[in-house]
Amino acid sequence: QMMEHAWHNYKRYAWGLNELKPISKQGHSSNLFGNIQGATIVDALDTLYIMEMKEEFKEAKEWVEKNLDFNVNTEISVFEVNIRFVGGLLSAYYLSGEEVFRKKAVELGEKLLPAFNTPTGIPWALLNIKSGIGRNWPWASGGSSILAEFGTLHLEFVHLSHLSGNPVFAEKVMNIRKVLSRLDKPEGLYPNYLNPSSGQWGQHHVSIGGLGDSFYEYLLKAWLMSDKTDEEGKKMYYDAVQAIETHLIRKSSGGLTYIAEWKGGLLEHKMGHLTCFAGGMFALGADGAPDDKTGHHIELGAEIARTCHESYDRTSMKLGPEAFRFDGGVEAIATRQNEKYYILRPEVIETYMYMWRLTHDPKYREWGWEAVEALEKHCRVDGGYSGIRDVYHNHESHDDVQQSFFLSETLKYLYLLFSEDDLLPFEHWVFNTEAHPLPILHKDDENKEENPK
């Protein structure tokens, strides 16, 4: 019902545009996608499919066939377009088998290739998909590319090669790996900024939240998606987790485990909502953890889930802030006004979903249900769902944006949290960072294709 409300209002007020403004009941455009249109449609395709909203899936598919157009003179974020559009199209293809999605995914992948034309092959953040001219965000440490952006192309690009028969996509992302694995890492940590021309790190700022997050996620998932054959991805992931544990993970005096940020060797005792995805990641990676550390990684996931739940529970609205702190006498509470907002993000519910699947502890469903009730009470409006400006207030001030990831991630992870484990089982699927399921490329399947008998 929540998906129906989000979708039908998008359809009514913003059909074909990127996102919905649920209060003003009109379209919302973000410059992340330039003039590419229909972000909500493409991001929501697989959610509609999984929820068996057949009519809606059909109309979304028809829109993609007739209107999704990449022949536009526009500058886009390579990362955002990859995770939402390429990821969304790939999942829609794998779930439905409809050729149009495969074709569009490969066509868009080809448009993104000029982003890799840098001296090192580390891609630009921004790309004009007509001219092929790229550049980096002007604010990013002396012209650097961003770890979470260039490190979050791997899964989709491996699938693009798989589906197109063209090895170029996989080669581009394997080269990113090569550049990273050759570089010295301060204390074994990966700074968020890397200059694509010099191949040197920018500012030594390390984060498992914004600017760093999904790079770590994709190391683990690349290994899982390769049917556990990608030993390099595996090693890089577990080595990184080791360094994160040593240098970033701390326990508050009240007993809450959190992941701090690292700035040139100094810790900032702050954790972002984005960082909360790491609970699910640690638990998902527990199985392959070296040195008998499986139980330890599950426990780490459980502790992060508990801390993130506390960040929700300690607000008036029972929805978590964008960032919360463990200093100045507070724990798991936002202290700065500009960190008190909630924009319908999925990471905490994502972690509940992984923890539920991997432990079946009923508290994760209880916590997920608390989030449902809070979303219904505070974010649901006549025209859809809106973010909130301050989750510590008693009265909502809505930000008037229904983010496309609310449909692709937040609602999908909630649905999976309350479904049986055989819906998109982890043995066969990994989720990209926008919650788009991609099939594991099983060793046996490859043999079958090469030698069907």
Please say whether the beta carbons of 17 and 28 come within 8 A: yes
Token representation of residue 433: 């960072």
Q: Which is nearer to ligand DMJ, 77 or 136 (CB)?
A: 77
- In the complex, minimum distance from the CB of residue 351 to ligand DMJ, in angstroms, rounded to a whole number: 12
Q: What residues have CB less than 8 Å from 386, skipping those under 6 apart?
A: 22, 23, 344, 379, 398, 399, 400, 401, 402
- In the complex, minimum distance from the CB of residue 58 to ligand DMJ, in angstroms, rounded to a whole number: 26
Distances (CA, A) of 397 to 24, 89, 340, 443: 14, 34, 12, 51
Q: Which is nearer to ligand DMJ, 293 or 414 (CB)?
A: 414
Q: Which is nearer to ligand DMJ, 385 or 405 (CB)?
A: 405
Q: Which is nearer to ligand DMJ, 109 or 212 (CB)?
A: 212
Q: Cα 208–345–426 angle (5° rounding)?
A: 70
Question: What residues act catalytically?
Answer: 80, 213, 322, 347
- In the complex, minimum distance from the CB of residue 217 to ligand DMJ, in angstroms, rounded to a whole number: 8
Q: What residues have CB less than 8 Å from 286, skipping those under 6 apart?
A: 293, 294, 295, 296, 297, 298, 301, 358
Q: Which is nearer to ligand DMJ, 80 or 230 (CB)?
A: 80
- In the complex, minimum distance from the CB of residue 377 to ligand DMJ, in angstroms, rounded to a whole number: 21
Q: Which is nearer to ligand DMJ, 213 or 390 (CB)?
A: 213
Annotated binding-site members: 433
Q: Which is nearer to ligand DMJ, 77 or 141 (CB)?
A: 77
Q: Which is nearer to ligand DMJ, 155 or 333 (CB)?
A: 155
Among 326, 377, 314, 318, which residue's Cα sits nearest to residue 349? 318
- In the complex, minimum distance from the CB of residue 387 to ligand DMJ, in angstroms, rounded to a whole number: 11
Among 167, 304, 183, which residue's Cα sits nearest to residue 236? 183
Q: Cα 200–146–389 angle (5° rounding)?
A: 145
Cα atoms found within 13 Å of the Cα of residue 76, Cβ hemisphere only:
32
**Could you tell me where the DSSP H helices lie in 314-341?**
none
- In the complex, minimum distance from the CB of residue 447 to ligand DMJ, in angstroms, rounded to a whole number: 33
Among 30, 38, 35, 31, which residue's Cα sits nearest to residue 14? 38
Residues composing the chain:
453
Instruction: Report the alpha-carbon distance of residue 209 to residue 214 in Å, rounded.
Output: 8
Distances (CA, A) of 240 to 194, 233, 245, 363: 17, 11, 9, 29
Annotated binding-site members for Ca(2+): 433
Q: What residues have CB less than 8 Å from 439, skipping those under 6 apart?
A: 94, 428, 429
Distances (CA, A) of 375 to 173, 284, 344, 416: 37, 26, 8, 17
| Number of Cβ atoms within 10 Å of the Cβ of 357 | 19
Token representation of residue 341: 């907002």
DSSP strand pairing (380-381 vs 134-135): unpaired
Q: Which residues bind ligand DMJ (CB under 6 A)?
A: 83, 214, 274, 345-346, 405, 409, 433-434
- In the complex, minimum distance from the CB of residue 450 to ligand DMJ, in angstroms, rounded to a whole number: 34
- In the complex, minimum distance from the CB of residue 353 to ligand DMJ, in angstroms, rounded to a whole number: 13
Please say whether the beta carbons of 108 and 89 come within 8 A: yes
φ/ψ (deg, to 5) at 415 = -60, -45
